[in-house]
Amino acid sequence: MTHFIAMMSFAVSLMHYCGMAGFHASLDSTATTPEGATLLDSMLQAYIFGTTILAAPLVALVLARQSADTEVDEAIATWSAEINDAVPYPGDRGQEATAELDTRRDVPRRPADPLRKGDVQVVPHERVRQPSLW
């Protein structure tokens, strides 16, 4: 495969060099600068138009109010307030979660059981399947 890639790379390079060897340009020192629109004159409007077309939706997305997310958040807050008979306050849930974590931290952990000889199964290397490269 690498021989084919090297051969094709050499062929492409050779074709480019053959094309350049066949090219001939003669410069006329008496020629004047051509008149008319320059590249900047013709492409500036297209650049401005394209930038505006691409930037407008991006700016609209960034500045848009995420109404669906806001409505869901308001519905959850209202539902929570109805259940708890309290005014929802975002900081309360953080304090509750911290209190739950603190109580879990006080529970002592028991050490893991040591492995027994019967828990480990040894597979002979003949039965281990090796992945194929091809």
Report pLDDT digits (tens) over 3-59. 899 999 999 999 999 988 888 888 888 888 888 888 888 898 899 999 999 999 988
Mean pLDDT of 96-108: 56
Range of the domain at 89: 65-106
Distance (Å, whole) CA 83 – CA 77: 10
What is the pLDDT at residue 20?
87
80 touches 88 (CB < 8 A): yes
**How many domains, the chain?**
1
Report d(CA 13, CA 19) in Å as an integer.
Answer: 10
131 is a domain residue: no
User: Would 42 be classed as within a structural domain?
Assistant: no
pTM of the model: 0.29
89 within a domain of the structure (yes/no):
yes
- Residue 104 has, within 13 A of its CA and on its CB side, a CA count of 6
Beta carbons of 81 and 88 less than 8 angstroms apart = yes
In a domain, 43, yes or no: no
Is the residue at 101 inside a domain? Answer: yes
| In-domain check, residue 88 | yes
> Measured between alpha carbons, how far is 76 from 88 in angstroms, rounded to an integer?
10
Q: Is residue 22 part of a domain?
A: no
Residue 126: its pLDDT value, please?
60
Mean pLDDT score across all residues of the chain: 75
21 lies in a domain? no
